[in-house]
Amino acid sequence: MNCPTCRRSLHPDETHRTACVRCENRLRAWLREIPLQRPLLEASLHIGAAPATGRLGGTGRAHAPLPLREDVLTLLGPAAPGTVHDPHHDQTGPTPIHAVLYAWADRLADQLGHALPALRPGDDYSYYVLANLRHVVTRAWVTDMYAELRDLIHRIRAVTRTEPQRRVQEAPCPSCRAFALFEEDWQTYLDCEACGLLLTPAEYRAHHAAVMPTLYRIGVLMAAATAEETPPS
Ligand SMILES: [Zn+2]
Ligand SMILES: [Zn+2]
């Protein structure tokens, strides 16, 4: 049986899920990333927002307001500074962040049988979806939510040019032995690109402590053997 969301084969204890642990991990990271990206989006709202060089010291002249970036305005949605109201709902094209999250949060609240909580100003519903993620990953619609959030996060990163960094880890994967374990910003688990294994940071530290002394020793012995074979120049 495969994960309906990513098509990887499901672990026997994941068969009740519609999104596997890896997919859940990715969703959690995206939902945490969206609020962190918001200030960067707001800073990108004005075309030419970066300070001009060689103009230190004001001339006392008032400048016309900078034009706004349409794509950023769309992402920030109706609550953006310099709001563009759309009373006839005839706005076409990509959906704002708030609208995407609201739609899924609303559906979730409906299925959980309670009213959607009110938002604090400047907040979005990522926190609510995060808080109920265990439920989300057993719903058939998680596949659509996953695709929408992936699209949303790509649009955001394309504007802010900020994305989580992946760092390859020193120790090989305990399952497939490939040197393909990665740590990524805002992710709960380290993951193996070769076999899909997930490890918590604590599990990785324990694994690292267990295998690395032996690997270092082998490395030192190999380096010594190579040095012996190489004739002095
Ligand atoms: Zn999956
Ligand atoms: Zn592996």
- Mean pLDDT across the stretch 75-93? 54
Taking the centre of ligand 1 as the mean of its atom positions, its distance from the CA of residue 8, in whole angstroms, is 6
Distance CA 24, CA 10 (A): 13
Is beta strand 181-184 parallel, antiparallel or unpaired with respect to 198-199?
Answer: unpaired
CB neighbours (10 Å) of residue 48? 9
pLDDT of residue 52: 46
Taking the centre of ligand 1 as the mean of its atom positions, its distance from the CA of residue 137, in whole angstroms, is 9
CB neighbours (10 Å) of residue 13? 8
Can you give the residue ranges of every domain in the chain? 1-49+67-84+94-163, 164-233
Structure tokens at 45: 């709202």
Query: What are the residue ranges of helices labelled H in the chain?
Result: 21-43, 70-76, 97-112, 126-131, 133-136, 142-160, 201-229
Taking the centre of ligand 2 as the mean of its atom positions, its distance from the CA of residue 86, in whole angstroms, is 50
Distance CA 182, CA 165 (A): 10
Taking the centre of ligand 2 as the mean of its atom positions, its distance from the CA of residue 179, in whole angstroms, is 8
Taking the centre of ligand 2 as the mean of its atom positions, its distance from the CA of residue 172, in whole angstroms, is 8
How far from each other are the two terminal CA atoms of the chain, in whole angstroms? 61
Q: Starting from the CA of residue 2, give the closest ligand.
A: 1
pLDDT of residue 209: 95
Taking the centre of ligand 1 as the mean of its atom positions, its distance from the CA of residue 133, in whole angstroms, is 14
| Sign of torsion over alpha carbons 193, 197, 200, 201 | negative
- CA count, 13 A, side-chain hemisphere, 146: 23
pLDDT of residue 179: 94
Taking the centre of ligand 2 as the mean of its atom positions, its distance from the CA of residue 170, in whole angstroms, is 13
- Mean pLDDT across the stretch 105-132? 92
Taking the centre of ligand 2 as the mean of its atom positions, its distance from the CA of residue 231, in whole angstroms, is 39
Taking the centre of ligand 1 as the mean of its atom positions, its distance from the CA of residue 178, in whole angstroms, is 21
Q: Starting from the CA of residue 181, give the closest ligand.
A: 2
Taking the centre of ligand 1 as the mean of its atom positions, its distance from the CA of residue 173, in whole angstroms, is 20
Q: Starting from the CA of residue 198, give the closest ligand.
A: 2
Q: Starting from the CA of residue 191, give the closest ligand.
A: 2
The three-point CA angle 216-219-220 to 5° equals: 90
Residue range 187-213, pLDDT digits in tens: 889 999 998 889 999 999 999 999 998
DSSP single-letter state for residue 8: P
Residue range 93-110, pLDDT digits in tens: 678 999 999 999 999 999
pLDDT of residue 228: 81
Higher pLDDT, 112 or 163: 112
Distance CA 198, CA 169 (A): 13
Q: Is the pLDDT of residue 19 over 90?
A: yes
pLDDT of residue 183: 94
Distance CA 128, CA 110 (A): 13
The three-point CA angle 154-195-164 to 5° equals: 30
Taking the centre of ligand 1 as the mean of its atom positions, its distance from the CA of residue 5, in whole angstroms, is 5
Taking the centre of ligand 2 as the mean of its atom positions, its distance from the CA of residue 158, in whole angstroms, is 30
Q: Starting from the CA of residue 177, give the closest ligand.
A: 2
pLDDT of residue 80: 38
